[in-house]
Amino acid sequence: MKRYLAAAWCAASLLSVPLAAGAAERTVSSLRLIGEQRIPHRLDFQGTVVGGLSGVDYDPASGAWLLASDDRSALSPARFYSARLDYDGAAFRSVTLTGVATFKQADGSNYPSVKQYDVNKTGDVPDIEALRIDPLDGTVWYTSEGDRKRGFDPFVRHMRRDGAYLGAVQLPEMFRVSREEKGSRDNLSFEGLSFAPDGRSMWVAMESPLYQDGPLPTPAGGAFVRISRMDRDGRMLEQYAYPVDAIPAAPGPGKVADNGVSEIVAVNQRSLLVLERSAVQDAAGAYKNYIRLYEMEAGGGASDVRGVEALAGGGFRPAAKRLVLDLNTLGIRLDNLEAMSFGPKLANGHDSLLIVSDDNFGKDQVTQFLLFEVIPKSGMLN
């Protein structure tokens, strides 16, 4: 996905890496909740404040999980954690943090906080929302929503497992921030990231529409967000208009509500799981979260909109989606679910799926881990 890649990433080396066993055949019919775990509020771990978990991925080579925090270096330097999860098909027993490392800038330094940047005007302030382990070499890619007010574009960057900077994707012009009402909205940009199962390309999902793609969702109607697949040189391969639902409930008088894409993960080469997350504030100021998980078909008659300058003009066919699970039917309190990853297979051969919440470091929120068994489509074994 980046134009600076060295010879190690030549086509011959990519072709020498086989598709992970079973990845192309994975299917999703429904989910069964196995259990829930939580991390204590503002847990101190190795001198950092745990919270704001906005990205998660599983490494089958080591059995470790990586968890990205979206703390903009305010409480601790921008960072990611490693963890071990103890579970099987019958029970979800524990989450144990095992390490922490910081995301590094190109010069090897930590990312600055907003306050540090406003004083020194050096570096850029990240808003890290997703990370994925590279299936070809075990390095890590991650996204930031940028900072429109300070002129920082959203980005996709590449690092070693210790956080050391390796490079960045050349961003398509449509996603850049602007002083005009075009490009990415503030804090509503690159929220989802997933490798295709063969590891040769990546999917990147916007949380909400670009300015030119129309207004944000309301209780009266939904919106369209762009979900794009790019190759490792940053070239756009395909892009679809994903239809985000209308906000499920009306906010209280003078209060706020939203809905958008909070994460994606590839199911197979032609479909993605898409997590829609809505927060609605009631008259007393309390929020209720509405979380729905859909499967989106890539292609299948949908228009490739990478050449469409503005979706607000219509004239395209959106991607099809199928509801996999309305998480509000689980009968548990749902927090601000933002991170999602497939995990190791269960004893019956089915995949596991983990969804994690970003507590925004708020005293009224929790860091929640929800674990599911993935039920494959009839006649298919994952």
List, edge to edge, every strand of the sheet that includes 64-69: 53-59, 64-69, 79-87, 92-102
Given a cut of 50, is residue 188 above it in pLDDT? yes
- The percent of residues above 90 in pLDDT, for the chain, comes to 90
Predicted confidence band of residue 382 (pLDDT cuts 50, 70, 90): low
pLDDT at 233: 77
Write down the H helix ranges in the chain.
Answer: 11-15, 114-120
- What gap in Å lies between CA 264 and CA 266, rounded to an integer? 7
Over the stretch 259-274, which tens digit does the pLDDT of each residue have? 999 999 999 999 999 9
**Other residues' Cβ atoms within 10 Å of the Cβ of residue 346:** 17
pLDDT at 15: 33
Q: Name the least confident of 86-90, 320-324, 378-382.
A: 378-382
Predicted confidence band of residue 234 (pLDDT cuts 50, 70, 90): confident
Complete DSSP assignment for 63-84: TEEEEEE---SSSSSSEEEEEE
pLDDT at 25: 73
Are residues 237 and 270 in contact, defined by beta-carbon separation less than 8 angstroms? no
- What gap in Å lies between CA 228 and CA 311, rounded to an integer? 14
Over the stretch 349-367, which tens digit does the pLDDT of each residue have? 999 999 999 999 999 999 9
pLDDT at 171: 84
Over the stretch 51-76, which tens digit does the pLDDT of each residue have? 999 999 999 999 999 999 999 999 99
Over the stretch 318-342, which tens digit does the pLDDT of each residue have? 999 999 999 999 999 999 999 999 9
What residue type is 261 in one-letter code?
V
Q: What is the mean pLDDT of residues 207-219?
A: 98
| Whole-Å CA distances, 174 to 52, 177, 236, 326 | 28, 9, 12, 32
Q: What is the CATH number of domain 31-375?
A: 2.115.10
Predicted confidence band of residue 381 (pLDDT cuts 50, 70, 90): low
Over the stretch 4-42, which tens digit does the pLDDT of each residue have? 333 333 333 333 334 443 344 799 999 999 999 999 999
Cβ-Cβ contacts under 8 Å for 169 (sequence gap 6 or more): 1, 2, 155, 156, 157, 158, 230, 234
Are residues 218 and 203 in contact, defined by beta-carbon separation less than 8 angstroms? no
pLDDT at 361: 97
Are residues 112 and 122 in contact, defined by beta-carbon separation less than 8 angstroms? yes
**Length in residues, the chain:** 382
Mean pLDDT of all residues in the chain? 93
